[in-house]
Amino acid sequence: MGECQRGARQVKRLAKPEGKYNLVLEEAPMPEPAPGEVRIKAVRSLISRGSEMGARYTREHAVSHEIMGYSMAGTIDKVGEGISHLAPGDRVVALAPHAQYTVRPATVDSPASQPRVVVLPDDVSWDRAPYFPLTSGSVTWVDVEQIGASDTVVILGQGLVGSLMLQVMKANGKGHVVAVDALDNRCALAEELGADRVIHAGQEDPVTAVRKLTNGAGAHLVVYAVGGPAGPKAFEQGLDMLGVDGTMHLIGLYEDQDLALPSSKIQRRRILGGYYGATIGQSSYRRAMSLLASGQVQAERMTTHRFAFTEAGEAFDLLWNRPGEALGVLLDWEE
CATH number for the domain that contains residue 226? 3.40.50.720
Q: Are residues 310 and 241 in the same domain?
A: no
Q: Is residue 138 part of a domain?
A: no
Residue at 125 is within a domain: no
- Please report whether residue 136 resides in a domain: no
pLDDT in tens, 206-230: 999 999 999 999 999 999 999 777 8
Which residue among 273, 290, 316 closes a domain?
Answer: 273
Residue 84: partners with Cβ closer than 8 Å, 6 or more residues away: none
Q: What is the pLDDT of residue 229?
A: 77
7-32 per-position pLDDT tens digit: 569 999 999 999 999 999 999 999 99
Let me know if residue 279 belongs to a domain.
no
Tell me the three-class secondary structure of 121-166, residue by residue.
CCCCCCCCHHHHHHHHHHHHHHHHHCCCCCCEEEEECCCHHHHHHH
Residue 117 CA to residue 112 CA, distance in Å, equals: 14
Statement to judge: residues 80 and 114 lie in one domain: yes
Domain co-membership, 166 together with 260: yes
Alpha carbon separation from 304 to 47, 58, 328 (Å, rounded): 12, 22, 5
**Burial letters 25-61, b for 16+ CB under 10 A, else e:** beebebbbbeeebbbbbbbbbbbbbbbbbbbbbbbee
Same domain? 207 vs 113: no
Do residues 267 and 182 share a domain?
Answer: yes
Residues 302 and 264 placed together within one structural domain of the fold: no
Judgement on whether residues 56 and 90 belong to the same structural domain of the protein: yes
Beta strands in 30-68, from DSSP E residues, in sequence order: 37-46
Q: Do residues 57 and 99 share a domain?
A: yes
Identify the domain boundary among 257, 273, 289.
273
Does residue 174 sit within a domain? Answer: yes
Q: What percentage of the chain carries pLDDT values higher than 70?
A: 94
Q: Is 129 a member of any domain?
A: no
Task: Determine contact, residues 164/131, Cβ cutoff 8 Å.
Answer: yes
Domain of 58, in residue numbers? 10-120+298-332
- pLDDT tens, position by position, 251-298: 987 777 788 888 888 899 999 988 665 556 677 889 999 999 999 999
What's the total number of domains in the chain?
A: 2
Looking at the fold, whether 113 and 163 belong to one and the same domain comes out as no
Secondary structure (DSSP) of 250-261: E-S---SSPPP-
* Beta strand extents in 258-326 (DSSP E only): 270-273, 303-308
The percent of the chain in helix, strand and coil, each rounded to the nearest 5, is 30, 25, 40
Structural domain contains residue 42: yes
Q: Is residue 310 part of a domain?
A: yes
Whether residues 193 and 227 share a domain: the answer is yes
Helical residues (DSSP H) of 202-254, grouped into ranges: 206-213, 231-241
Residue 53 — very low, low, confident or very high, per pLDDT cuts 50/70/90?
confident
pTM value? 0.93
Same domain, 176 and 243: yes
Q: What pLDDT is stored for residue 52 in this prediction?
A: 83
Q: What is the pLDDT of residues 91-120, one digit of tens each?
A: 999 999 999 999 999 987 766 666 789 999
More confident residue, 162 or 285: 162
In terms of domains, do 265 and 162 share one? yes
CATH number at residue 74: 3.90.180.10
CA distance 255 to 144: 24
